[in-house]
Amino acid sequence: MTTKFTKDHEWVRVEGDTATVGITKHAAEQLGDVVFVELPDVGNSFTQGDDMAVVESVKAASDVYAPVSGEIIEGNGSIVDAPETVNDGPEEGGWFVKMKLSNPSELDELMDEAAYKEHAANS
């Protein structure tokens, strides 16, 4: 299992050709209390960097970008019903979608955990 991070504070955890995507703890803390999440429909495909989902907090609304290209195979409906789950465990139960990877080489462009921690500390 490989976990990578984007400059926009998304994480992607890859097992085989399936990528689980969410926002980082840093992003959840910056947003504050999450009150609404809009997920893409299963079957939709995205290219790396596309707007894929929306997360709204008491402070702001933010887009969630596709960290890799692929097709949505599952959405985490529990965060739609209980958006606070994103704050409680953004890198565990607060994941957004699962995607079938269409271009695994895109993972090479993303940061590992050490590089991301440095990036988050400076942003």
Which tens digit of pLDDT belongs to each residue from 65-101? 999 999 999 999 999 999 999 999 999 999 999 999 9
Residue 23 lies in a domain: yes
Whether 114 is covered by a domain: the verdict is no
CATH number at residue 27: 2.40.50.100
Asked if residue 123 is part of any domain, the answer here is: no
| DSSP symbol at 108 | G
86 assigned to some structural domain: yes
- Hey, what are 92's tokens? 């565990």
- Residue bearing tokens 């955990």: 113
Q: How many domains does the chain have?
A: 1
Q: Does residue 24 form part of some domain?
A: yes
Residue 83 lies in a domain: yes
Residue 123: what pLDDT?
A: 80
Residue 117 within any structural domain of the chain: no
Measured distance CA(74)–CA(77) in Å, rounded: 9
pLDDT tens digits, one per residue of 4-37: 999 999 999 999 999 999 999 999 999 999 999 9
Q: Whole domain around residue 12: which residue ranges?
A: 2-103
In a domain, 79, yes or no: yes
